[in-house]
Amino acid sequence: MLTGDSFTNVRLRRFSMESKKEQLITEVVYQGNHTYEIKKTIDGFKGDKAILIGLYPTVDGDNITKIDSTQLHLINHMKELGLNEVRIMNLYSEVFDRKPTTSQLTYDKENFEYITQAVNTAGEYKLIIAYGSSHSSNKTTNTLKKNLLEAISNSKAKDRVYQPFMNTLNIEYRSLHVLRHTFGSILASEGINVKDLQYMLGHASVVTSMDIYVGSYSENRKKMTKNLQKSLFVS
SS3 assignment, position 143: helix
Chain segment 95-130, per-residue pLDDT in tens = 987 788 888 888 889 999 999 999 888 778 888 888
User: Are residues 120 and 229 both part of a single domain?
Assistant: no
User: Are residues 105 and 194 both part of a single domain?
Assistant: no
Within-domain flag for 98: yes
Question: 48-54 and 23-31 as β-strands: parallel, antiparallel, unpaired?
Answer: unpaired
User: Are residues 162 and 184 both part of a single domain?
Assistant: no
Within-domain flag for 181: yes
Number of domains in the chain: 2
Instruction: Judge if pTM exceeds 0.75.
Output: no
Chain segment 3-61, per-residue pLDDT in tens = 556 555 666 566 677 888 889 999 999 999 999 999 999 998 999 899 999 888 988 88
User: Are residues 100 and 66 both part of a single domain?
Assistant: yes
**Neighbour-count burial for 154-190, b at 16+ CB within 10 Å, e otherwise:** ebebbebbbbbeeeeeeeeeeebeeeeeeebeebbee
Within-domain flag for 16: no
* Segments forming the whole domain that contains residue 219: 177-235
